[in-house]
């Protein structure tokens, strides 16, 4: 069995931002040379997500508005905000998830027709990373 690891680094301009990373994951898969297996992609930070959904800007606005209703930004509104202000970001990350796992078939990510992979940032403007781990043959 082969194993391959790669990190992607981000430093977003905005506090909340979604970044399309399907091509980065495809590039990692190409570098790995693995034809059949599994690909894990996870955020290495507890205020960021990796998720799969439609690459459609309206939906991304809907996500951000929905998350803001669930866990609005508030400097004083969270028990966690002692010395920092990212209590909302921890909750947003929990809803959007930590990681995705994608099957690899014939050397390709075996995604559904409208599936795309995104990095979701909820406490940005700092350097953060995503881990890609690919195992298989």
Give 3-state DSSP helix, strand, coil % of the chain, rounded to 5. 25, 35, 40
Structure tokens that stand for 10 in this block: 């981000």
119 in helix, strand or coil?
A: strand
- For residues 111 and 54, is the Cβ–Cβ distance under 8 A? no
By beta-carbon proximity to Zn ion, the closer residue of 32 and 47 is 47
Using CB atoms, what's the residue nearest to Zn ion?
86
> Least distance to Zn ion from the beta carbon of 78, Å?
9
Contact between 86 and Zn ion by CB under 5 A: the answer reads yes
Contact between 17 and Zn ion by CB under 5 A: the answer reads no
- Which range in 2-10, 36-44, 48-56, 80-88 contacts Zn ion by CB under 5 A? 80-88
> Which residues lie near Zn ion (CB under 5 A)?
86
């Amino acid at each position: 069995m082969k194993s391959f690891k790669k990190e992607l680094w981000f430093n977003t301009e905005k506090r909340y931002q979604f970044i399309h990373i399907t091509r980065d994951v495809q590039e990692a898969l190409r570098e790995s040379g693995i034809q059949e297996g599994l690909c894990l992609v996870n955020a290495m930070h507890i205020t960021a997500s990796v998720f799969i959904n439609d690459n459609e800007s309206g939906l991304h606005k809907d996500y951000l508005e929905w998350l803001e209703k669930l866990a609005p930004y508030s400097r004083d509104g969270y028990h966690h905000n002692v010395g920092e202000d990212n209590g909302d970001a921890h909750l947003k990350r929990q809803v959007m998830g930590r990681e995705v796992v994608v099957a690899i078939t014939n050397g390709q990510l075996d995604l559904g027709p409208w599936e795309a992979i995104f990095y979701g940032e909820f406490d940005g403007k700092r350097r953060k990373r995503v881990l890609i781990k690919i195992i298989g043959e």
